[in-house]
Amino acid sequence: MTSPIERAAAAVASPLRAFLHAESAGGIVLVAAAGTALVWANSPAADGYIQFWQQKITFGGGPASVSLDLRHWVNDALMVLFFFVIGLEIKRELAVGELRDPHAPRSCPP
pLDDT tens, position by position, 42-51:
999 999 999 9
pLDDT tens, position by position, 72-84:
988 888 889 999 9
Helix axes 25-41, 4-21, angle to 10 degrees: 100
pLDDT tens, position by position, 19-37:
777 878 888 888 999 999 9
How do the domains of the chain map onto residue ranges? 1-53, 55-100
Q: Name the strand (E) or helix (H) holding 88.
A: helix 79-96
Using CA atoms, how far apart are residues 95 and 110, in angstroms rounded to an integer? 26
Does this model's pTM top 0.95? My answer is no
In the chain, count of helices (H) and strands (E)? 5, 2
